[in-house]
Amino acid sequence: MSGTNPATPGAAPGPGAGPSAGPLDLSMMARALALADQAANLGEVPVGAVVYRTSDGTILGEGFNRREINKDPAAHAEFAAIMGACRAIGDWRLNGCSLAVTLEPCPMCAGLIVNARVGRVLFGADDPKAGACRSLFAITTDARLNHRAELVAGVMAEESATKLRSFFRGLRARGG
Ligand SMILES: [Zn+2]
């Protein structure tokens, strides 16, 4: 699935412009959004992620942001989902898998995506401050690296962005 990545930094994700999300992908992103809610309920920035088998949608790993609870800078949603999927299948290679994550992965997670050979990455909202799939960097589609993931940006982006906005609005209201 890798190797055909028309997505470039700043490219519009409009329909028909390369790979798109199917019904299975959308249901997985809905699951990721529910996981983001779990993070928010714990006072964490609401980001959720699911890794699933691309062929049949079997969920292999899930995660949500737990950075504050775990006191762990690596406790990002997609990091946990990828590690969980590798444990589930007993392999570090996730070529046949897709990752749905509600926020554009950061450089650390984009690096893990490349190292885990994740076949497809679908994300919701762009992250202009840390995004490493197209906003600041395009690590997951960089031809200089030895793996490229198929990238679908902007999947249910508004739902994801709304959760993030309301979370931060709540923080400010509480003086946090
Ligand atoms: Zn990350």
The pLDDT assigned to 10 comes to 42
Distance 77 CA to ligand 1 centre (A): 7
- pTM for the model: 0.89
48, 64 in Cβ contact below 8 A?
yes
CA of 22 to the centre of ligand 1 (A): 24
Which residues partner with 59 through β-bridges? 52
* Residue numbers annotated as active site: 78
pLDDT band at 159 (very low <50, low <70, confident <90, very high): very high
pLDDT for the residue 5: 44
Q: Is the pLDDT of residue 83 over 70?
A: yes
Burial of 71 (0-12, 13-18, 19+ CB in 10 A): exposed
CA of 130 to the centre of ligand 1 (A): 9
Contact 110, 132 (CB under 8 A): yes
76 CA distance to ligand 1 middle (Å): 5
